Amino acid sequence: MDFTFNEEQEMFRAMFRDFSAKEVAPQAEETDHEEKPPLDVLRKAANQGFLGATLPEDYFGAELDYVSYVLLIETLAGDCMSTAVTLATHVSLVAMSILAHGTDAQKEEWLPPMAAGEMIGAFALTEPDAGSDAMVLQTRATPDGDGVILNGVKSWIANGEIAGIFLVFAQGSEGIEAYLVPKDTPGLTVGYREPTLGLRSVTFNTLYLEGCRVGQANRLGGPGEGQTVAQQAQDRMAIALAAAGLGVSEASVDVAAQFASERVQFGVPIAQKQAIQNYVTEAMIDVEALRYLVYHAAWLVDQNRDFSFDASVSKALGARVARSVTNWMLQVLGGYGYMEDYPMARKYRDARALGIIGGPTEVHHVRIAQRIFADLDVEIAP
Amino acid sequence: MDFTFSSEHVALRRMIREFAETEVAPLAAEIDREGRVPFETLKKLGEIGLLGVCFPQKYGGMGAGETGYCILMEELARVCTSTSTNVGAHIGIGAMSIYLDGTEEQKQKYLVPLARGEKFAAFVLTEADAGSDAAAIRTRAVREGDSWIIDGTKTFNTNGSFADIVTVLAVTDPTLGARGGITAFIVESNMPGFKVGTHENKMGIRGSSTAELIFDGVRVSHENVLGKVGEGFVSFMKTLDLGRLTLGAAGLGGAQAALDWSIRWAKTRKQFGQELAHKQSVQWMIANMAMEIEALRSLVYRVAWMVDTGQPFTQLAAMVKLYGSEVGSRAIDTALQIHGGLGYSRDFPIERGFRDARISEIFEGTNEIQRIVIASNIFRQHGVRIRP
Amino acid sequence: MRVIVILGRVLDPSGIVVKGKAGRIFVNREEYVLQPADRCALEAALRIKDAALAGLRPSQDVEVVALPRGPLPDDDVLRQALATGADRAVYLVGQVANLPYTDDAAAVRVLAAAVERLGGADLILAGATTMDTGQGQLGPRLAEALGWPQVVGAWHVAAADGRVQAVCQSSPLLVGEEGGGTSYVTVEADLPAVVTVLPGVLKLRYPDGARLINVYRGVGEVAEGLEQWDVADLVDMESLKPLLERRGQDFPPERERGVRIDGTPEEMARVVADALRQHVGR
């Protein structure tokens, strides 16, 4: 087993760090405070090829392997989780779904503008009544000539306000189906934006589909294949979110260690106090455990092996570690950790989202349990 | 052992709960959003005597003891932690410092209007370089005839921006340390030289005021020395020891709210064809939450009883603050998880509870300090002297 | 001027769950609260006292006395009244048939005797409705027993100089008007009179903190205002046979569950239209 990055990956990582420090970090506090999407950063990221990170060069993508892409998400998340989540939604959930399941015509039509950042993607699966229970959809796709009419409501759709293309999941005649719906299609309305605890520069919107007609050419995948499209997308996203958890955790440890080495109380830097050391070391142990879990899951993607189980495991751990590490590193900063003009408060609020978005931890637990017990012939229902 | 509350405390809780639900709860979201102190609530609390809940009636208080004060903090925090923070800083450390160490004249002059809610109090200690290490303060008080001149900057102060009467700790003899070199003073905020500096932008308890206070040549009479010259540090630690208890009560209130919300949501919300209440994961969360709350409740009111009956309480009060803040944080975190997306949305009270709870492990003595206090007390009983 | 307020208690409804299908009422938490309408009556009495003290009426000492709707298991309600500002409260003890379901007819006999023992009163205020029986009979029955005028269902009450003014919701029957809309009418009567107060309008004051602590501890001037009388000293126990006999309880039929309709708007509309046609058209 070779646990090192290859030369290319090392180079990419250095480039990502450079970009993030220069472009992402300086805007994080303001975009959070003003709750505005990081459009400037996205534009600059597009220039670097990040918006088409894993897409083939044929579609103007950067053709990164998933491990490198995960390094990108990790690095961005260390400075601004909102930016990381916005980008991951666009790439892992939407662009890569088109890449995996699209016809050549669809790929040619949608991928280049997405890679260029001219068209941001949003993934419309969740509904008000079906939070975790994503495979029971109320949104209907009713056949209408050579297309379908979509009717329904979607909620908590990330990138809602900035998306140019929505991947909408609906109950069709043969099961769940996925449709690519451009923003200005009549009958699609982007509605209420959820005010959130963290990830405040991600826009989470309610989406209304009222007699929204799309042609068959916009269906992604075959009839009734929507469930597969959704599941694979969510698995890819789970790994990306775990990487975001890794990024925000590492960055928090850095912030806290720096603070602890400078803050003097009782005559010494608090880093000399064993309790503070324990917080930082336990955090570091968690970070390292998560790190290789995430990279391994990403490696499975690159190997074209089944990564579903590892996606859930890394997401579940990622959520737990991010929550715990941001909490304890905030504690190291004491009162300063609670003030919004220091970065820890934002990281704490942002990290908490990982237990809920991309599938709440409880849902991932069920999926992991299903896999464990399937080998023993026990079928687990959610 | 009688584990029941006396009838006056039962009646008190009933009144406070009604007040909390009618007057305090409706403002909770608004004051958080606007970042303002609910003065209208503080005025109403003062009018019915609650801002002097634990002080004897001869000083304008209600005479309900520490037990009554814990009930007040619990019931207020159950609906709005910002409000309980404002009240706690006023009663539990501000006015309390005067009650514990003031002369009869000082109590009549300062404690009575505070207990009656006619004036507001703040307790001023922390500085940029003196957080947990409170003895490292640098604010200076220099004697000049019959007065003292106070100079220095205090940070992270609760209530100081609107208090009328503040008790402040300053160094009076730099050659001595905490023992003999630090003195406490009562300062009226309208004295020349007292200024309010920057207001902090906090993650939570945004309906409370946290600000920098500047003492720029503030002249106070020698009669405003609180306690004895040189004994201020000990006196302030004594006040903090007692204040901790009621913070644990606030943690209890917040935890109880988290549990109530969680039960209600688990009853209502259906996922995968069943209410959440039928999921073992959720049942375990609720059971654990409820258990911790019961344990905390017993601890809070037992220690309140010990204070009210004159028994030593320092180690136990530290435990109450430590355990109460952790239970409160765990409970609201679990409640957030149970509520899923709604727990993360600012349209619901869960995320506000989550932000508010986080400070409880930090202020009024970080939980690290609490552990040091507990460990020191334990080892001192065994002859080992621990330094922080 | 002596103002008597009649106070009763009721099980806190938030501690009760009614299961019609099982035909049972589950009391999960047995806690009692002051009847909301009676609390409003107390607030009205205290405002009359405030007005007199503020000199808004020609000076008159107003004494507010709280009496219970019947013998109660404990004096909590009376202590609450004292804490909130009543001058005196009388706790009635003694065996009365069918406690706690003593009906208003029996209660009125006791109250009339209590009023006499107090030496009379100028005004009696009571809640116009009760949360448990919903009968609202106590006020009118008491007025009849005393031979006093009665005003039923007041929102606001003022009293001075031998007269009471009660603001009530107007009704066509009362003023011979036609048409709808809410309007108010002031009804006046000579004192002594009985006025019943509706819940929900007057903003209720909180008890004073120190008075609350003292009255429950039994110390201080406020606690001296509490007296205890034996019902047997007031009335002949034989005369307390209630008019009502509780024979059991019945529950309304279970509401039928609705049917959830799915589909496109057109499909759903078709189903609803069919259902309406079926149900209404017959």
DSSP, residue by residue, A215-244? EGGGEESSTTTHHHHHHHHHHHHHHHHHHH
> How large is the angle between the packed helices A81-88 and A226-262, nearest 10 degrees?
160
Nearest chain C Cα distance for residue B65, angstroms: 10
Residue by residue, DSSP assigns C14-34 as: GGEEEETTTTEEEESS--EEE
- Based on the domain organization, do B114 and B154 belong to the same domain? no
Reply yes or no on whether the pLDDT at C101 is more than 70: no
Using a CB–CB cutoff of 8 Å, tell me whether C100 touches chain B: no
Q: For residue range B45-55, what is the model confidence (pLDDT) as tens digits? A: 999 999 999 99
pLDDT score, position C56 = 65
Q: Choosing from B127, B326, B351, B364, which is the catalytic residue?
A: B364
Q: Side chain identity at C227, as an amino acid letter? A: E
Distance CA(A16)–CA(A71), nearest Å, equals 8
Does the annotation mark B351 as catalytic?
no
Which chain C residues are closer than 8 Å to B48 by Cβ?
Answer: 206-209
> Is there a contact between A140 and C264 if contact means CB atoms under 8 Å apart?
yes
> Is there a contact between A198 and B344 if contact means CB atoms under 8 Å apart?
yes
Q: Would you place residue C97 in the very low, low, confident or very high pLDDT band (cuts 50, 70, 90)?
A: very low
Using a CB–CB cutoff of 8 Å, tell me whether C260 touches chain A: no
Say which CATH number the domain at B59 has. 1.10.540.10
Number of other CB atoms surrounding residue A103 within 10 Å: 13
Are the CB atoms for C96 and C121 separated by under 8 Å?
Answer: no
Which chain C residues are closer than 8 Å to B57 by Cβ?
Answer: 210, 213-214
Residues from B contacting C (CB-CB < 8 Å) are 6-8, 10-12, 15, 18-19, 48-50, 52-53, 57, 61-64, 68
Q: For residue range C204-220, what is the model confidence (pLDDT) as tens digits? A: 999 999 999 999 999 99
pLDDT score, position C58 = 57
Nearest chain C Cα distance for residue A141, angstroms: 9
End-to-end CA distance of chain C: 66
- Based on the domain organization, do B127 and B165 belong to the same domain? yes
Residue by residue, DSSP assigns B96-137 as: HHHHHH--HHHIIIIIHHHHTTSS-EEEE--BTTBSS-GGG-
Q: Would you place residue C98 in the very low, low, confident or very high pLDDT band (cuts 50, 70, 90)?
A: very low
Nearest chain C Cα distance for residue A360, angstroms: 27
Residue carrying structure tokens 């004159």: B310
Residues from A contacting C (CB-CB < 8 Å) are 138, 140, 142, 149, 151
Query: Which residues are CB-neighbours of C190 under 8 A, at least 6 positions away?
Result: C149, C162, C163, C164
Are the CB atoms for B171 and B181 separated by under 8 Å?
Answer: yes
> Which among C260, C262, C264 is the top mutation candidate for probing chain A, defined by the most A β-carbons within 10 Å of its own β-carbon?
C264
Q: Would you place residue A253 in the very low, low, confident or very high pLDDT band (cuts 50, 70, 90)?
A: very high
Are the CB atoms for B203 and B355 separated by under 8 Å?
Answer: yes
Reply yes or no on whether the pLDDT at C246 is more than 80: no
Q: Which CATH architecture has domain C2-256?
A: 3-Layer(aba) Sandwich (3.40)
With vertex at residue A311, the alpha carbon angle to CA A310 and CA A313, rounded to the nearest 5 degrees, is 60
Reply yes or no on whether the pLDDT at A109 is more than 90: yes
Using a CB–CB cutoff of 8 Å, tell me whether A197 touches chain B: yes
Using a CB–CB cutoff of 8 Å, tell me whether C268 touches chain A: no
> Is there a contact between B8 and C213 if contact means CB atoms under 8 Å apart?
yes
> Is there a contact between B11 and C76 if contact means CB atoms under 8 Å apart?
yes
> Which among C80, C213, C214, C217 is the top mutation candidate for probing chain B, defined by the most B β-carbons within 10 Å of its own β-carbon?
C213
**DSSP H helical ranges for C129-264:** 138-146, 172-175, 209-217, 220-224, 231-234
Which chain A residues are closer than 8 Å to C265 by Cβ?
Answer: 151
Q: Say whether C147 sits in a helix, a strand or coil.
A: coil
> Is there a contact between B50 and C209 if contact means CB atoms under 8 Å apart?
yes
Among the partner-chain residues B337, B345, B361, the one whose CB lies closest to the CB of A331 is B361
Are the CB atoms for C114 and C67 separated by under 8 Å?
Answer: yes
Task: Give the residue extent of every domain in chain C.
Answer: 2-256
Using a CB–CB cutoff of 8 Å, tell me whether A338 touches chain B: yes
Q: Side chain identity at A381, as an amino acid letter? A: A
Using a CB–CB cutoff of 8 Å, tell me whether A269 touches chain B: no
- The count of structural domains within chain B is 3
Nearest CA in chain C to B23: C206
> Is there a contact between B341 and A194 if contact means CB atoms under 8 Å apart?
yes
Q: For residue range C155-186, what is the model confidence (pLDDT) as tens digits? A: 999 998 899 999 998 766 555 555 555 688 99
> Which among B265, B271, B352, B361 is the top mutation candidate for probing chain A, defined by the most A β-carbons within 10 Å of its own β-carbon?
B271
Using a CB–CB cutoff of 8 Å, tell me whether A60 touches chain B: no
Nearest CA in chain B to C220: B57
List Cα–Cα distances, B216 to A214, B167, B220, in angstroms: 71, 16, 12
Q: For residue range C46-58, what is the model confidence (pLDDT) as tens digits? A: 999 999 888 765 5
Please choose, from the candidates B61, B74, B55, B56, the residue with its C-alpha nearest in 3D space to the C-alpha of residue B13: B74
Among the partner-chain residues B6, B11, B52, the one whose CB lies closest to the CB of C212 is B11
Say which CATH number the domain at B140 has. 2.40.110.10
pLDDT score, position C179 = 56
| Dihedral sign (CA A252, A255, A256, A257) | positive
Query: What is the number of CB-based contacts under 8 A between chain B and chain C?
Result: 50
List Cα–Cα distances, B272 to A359, B64, C260, in angstroms: 14, 50, 17
Q: Side chain identity at A295, as an amino acid letter? A: Y
Distance CA(B268)–CA(A165), nearest Å, equals 35
Distance CA(A337)–CA(B100), nearest Å, equals 32
Among residues of chain A, what percentage have pLDDT more than 70?
99
Q: For residue range A333-360, what is the model confidence (pLDDT) as tens digits? A: 999 999 999 999 999 999 999 999 999 9
Using a CB–CB cutoff of 8 Å, tell me whether A133 touches chain B: yes
- Please give the structure tokens belonging to residue A46: 């597009």
Nearest chain B Cα distance for residue C230, angstroms: 23
Which chain B residues are closer than 8 Å to A359 by Cβ?
Answer: none
Nearest chain B Cα distance for residue C216, angstroms: 5
Nearest chain C Cα distance for residue B316, angstroms: 26
Which chain C residues are closer than 8 Å to A140 by Cβ?
Answer: 263-264
Distance CA(A121)–CA(A16), nearest Å, equals 22
Using a CB–CB cutoff of 8 Å, tell me whether C263 touches chain A: yes
- Domain boundary among the residues B68, B94, B119 is at B119
Q: Say whether C12 sits in a helix, a strand or coil.
A: coil
Residue range A305-326: mean pLDDT, rounded: 98
Among the partner-chain residues A330, A357, A362, the one whose CB lies closest to the CB of B281 is A362
Using a CB–CB cutoff of 8 Å, tell me whether C59 touches chain A: no
| Dihedral sign (CA A343, A345, A350, A355) | positive
Using a CB–CB cutoff of 8 Å, tell me whether A30 touches chain B: no
Please list the residues that pair with B152 across neighbouring strands: B215
Using a CB–CB cutoff of 8 Å, tell me whether C265 touches chain A: yes
Nearest chain B Cα distance for residue C244, angstroms: 33
> Is there a contact between C264 and A138 if contact means CB atoms under 8 Å apart?
no
Q: Would you place residue C136 in the very low, low, confident or very high pLDDT band (cuts 50, 70, 90)?
A: confident
With vertex at residue B371, the alpha carbon angle to CA A336 and CA B360, rounded to the nearest 5 degrees, is 40
pLDDT score, position C178 = 57
Distance CA(A176)–CA(A162), nearest Å, equals 26
Using a CB–CB cutoff of 8 Å, tell me whether C12 touches chain B: no
- Please give the structure tokens belonging to residue B11: 């009646």
Q: Is A199 left (phi over 0), alpha (psi -120 to 50) or beta?
A: left
| pLDDT tens, chain B, 388 aa long | 888 999 999 999 999 999 999 999 999 999 999 999 999 999 999 999 999 999 999 999 999 999 999 999 999 999 999 999 999 999 999 999 999 999 999 999 999 999 999 999 999 999 999 999 999 999 999 999 999 999 999 999 999 999 999 999 999 999 998 999 999 999 999 999 999 999 999 999 999 999 999 999 999 999 999 999 999 999 999 999 999 999 999 999 999 999 999 999 999 998 888 899 999 999 999 999 999 999 999 999 999 999 999 999 999 999 999 999 999 999 999 999 999 999 999 999 999 999 999 999 999 999 999 999 999 999 999 999 998 8
What is the β-pairing status of strands C9-11 and C32-34? Answer: antiparallel
Residue by residue, DSSP assigns A7-38 as: HHHHHHHHHHHHHIIIIIHHHHHHHHHHT---
Using a CB–CB cutoff of 8 Å, tell me whether C209 touches chain B: yes
Residue B388 within any structural domain of the chain: no
- Based on the domain organization, do B260 and B333 belong to the same domain? yes
- List the chains bordering chain C where 3 or more Cβ pairs fall under 8 Å: A, B
Nearest chain B Cα distance for residue C76, angstroms: 9
- Based on the domain organization, do B49 and B66 belong to the same domain? yes
Residue B351 within any structural domain of the chain: yes
**DSSP H helical ranges for C172-226:** 172-175, 209-217, 220-224
- Based on the domain organization, do B254 and B376 belong to the same domain? yes
Q: For residue range A10-52, what is the model confidence (pLDDT) as tens digits? A: 999 999 999 999 999 999 999 999 999 999 999 999 999 999 9
Using a CB–CB cutoff of 8 Å, tell me whether A358 touches chain B: no
Reply yes or no on whether the pLDDT at A2 is more than 90: no
Using a CB–CB cutoff of 8 Å, tell me whether C81 touches chain B: no
Among residues of chain A, what percentage have pLDDT more than 90?
94
- List the chains bordering chain B where 3 or more Cβ pairs fall under 8 Å: A, C
Q: Which of A264-268, B233-237, C54-58, C254-258 has the weakest average pLDDT? A: C54-58
- Domain boundary among the residues B104, B119, B134 is at B119
- Domain boundary among the residues B231, B247, B278 is at B231
Using a CB–CB cutoff of 8 Å, tell me whether C208 touches chain B: yes
Please list the residues that pair with B182 across neighbouring strands: B171, B231
Which chain A residues are closer than 8 Å to C260 by Cβ?
Answer: none
- Based on the domain organization, do B277 and B367 belong to the same domain? yes
Reply yes or no on whether the pLDDT at C255 is more than 80: no
> Which among B281, B368, B373, B387 is the top mutation candidate for probing chain A, defined by the most A β-carbons within 10 Å of its own β-carbon?
B368
Residues of the domain holding B136:
122-231
Q: Provide the mean pLDDT of chain A.
A: 96
Distance CA(A30)–CA(A28), nearest Å, equals 6
ipTM: 0.94
Q: Side chain identity at B298, as an amino acid letter? A: S
Residue B1 within any structural domain of the chain: no
Distance CA(A185)–CA(A213), nearest Å, equals 8
Query: Which residues are CB-neighbours of B277 under 8 A, at least 6 positions away?
Result: B263, B266, B267, B283
